[in-house]
Amino acid sequence: MLEDDEEEDVVSFEHYRFISDKGQTPVRVDKFITSHMEKTSRHRIQLAIDAGYVLVNGKRAKASYIVKPLDIITIELPYQRRGMEIRPENIPLDIVYEDDDLLLINKPPGLVVHPGHGHFSGTLVNALAFYLGISQDENAPDERMGILVHRIDKNTSGLLLVAKNDEAQFDLARQFFDHTIDREYVALVWGNLKEDSGTITGNIARDPNDRMRFKVFSDGSLGKHAVTHYKVIERFGYTTLVSCRLETGRTHQIRVHMDYIGHPLFNDDRYGGDKIVNGTFYTKYKQFVDNCFELLPRQALHARTLGFTHPKTGERLFFESPVPSDMLSVIEKWRSYSHYKR
């Protein structure tokens, strides 16, 4: 588990596989699965079946399917964190949109999304528990805080989607899984990109030499398929402001892909962006960069836009979050510096 980061724009699923006994008596597949899965309600299983997450012998199953001997049943469920006490905490939330089914949060930098190793309180989930009036002990029979549809890093700012009920979670998770969610990030990266736009493709997996990092395996030998589309917004000579659109959502995807092509995110201490990558080594330039690092003590990455289909109404919704002040101040400094150097 990463100590200080969440997974970048990842939708996680739990995977289960069951094989019915030779002497299996006839029973509906929803009842069969419920009897084999602890702390998971039949309602949630039925939602998974309706969403196409349950397969019997490799084919999509209906809830009325009768399980036969030696059937192979596989199921995916949007991830729910269990076995952890969730204490409500009065932490302010910047709510961009809310209705009976979902919340859209503008997450500030520095806020951890989920409780975990080293962060048992002060997280977005603790804030949501307070706001929604939900608490949970570690022995809760049915997880009620598994409402986050996706996650972004602690030090990444921007839009985060939250489902208020199981129906909304399953629908929105399916949209992420099917890559029908529109996601755009703004990033400040080191260097002057050769092309005005491009696509980065490369499998991403944990670095075997450093478990805190992820890396690209271009030969496809390891990792998960990942695709990032980028477009230059503005050039500052030694740095570039880019827009990144995710076709997939892998851990640290933008950070890893930009580092892979030689343009790590500005002040990304995990991928080498927290030192001078491009430019001179004159004292004044070093002082300028150090000042920028102080103004923006995190990677320069912001989840700016999010578009999705409402799980109940079917309406296509689109939201935008302004780039936060810490990142804006550094962008302006680089803009002024580039004009000065001309």
Q: What is the number of H-type helices and E-type strands within the chain?
A: 7, 15
Annotated catalytic residue within 5, 30, 153, 268: 153
4 is catalytic: no
Q: CA–CA separation, 68 vs 94, rounded Å?
A: 51
Residues 202, 218: contact at Cβ < 8 Å? yes
Cα 214 to the center of its chain, rounded Å = 15
Q: CA–CA separation, 277 vs 264, rounded Å?
A: 8
Strands (E), the chain: 13-19, 54-56, 59-60, 72-78, 95-98, 102-107, 157-163, 182-190, 197-201, 203-207, 210-217, 227-235, 239-246, 301-309, 316-320
Strands 301-309, 157-163: pairing kind: parallel
Q: CA–CA separation, 218 vs 20, rounded Å?
A: 40
By annotation, the residues acting in catalysis are 153
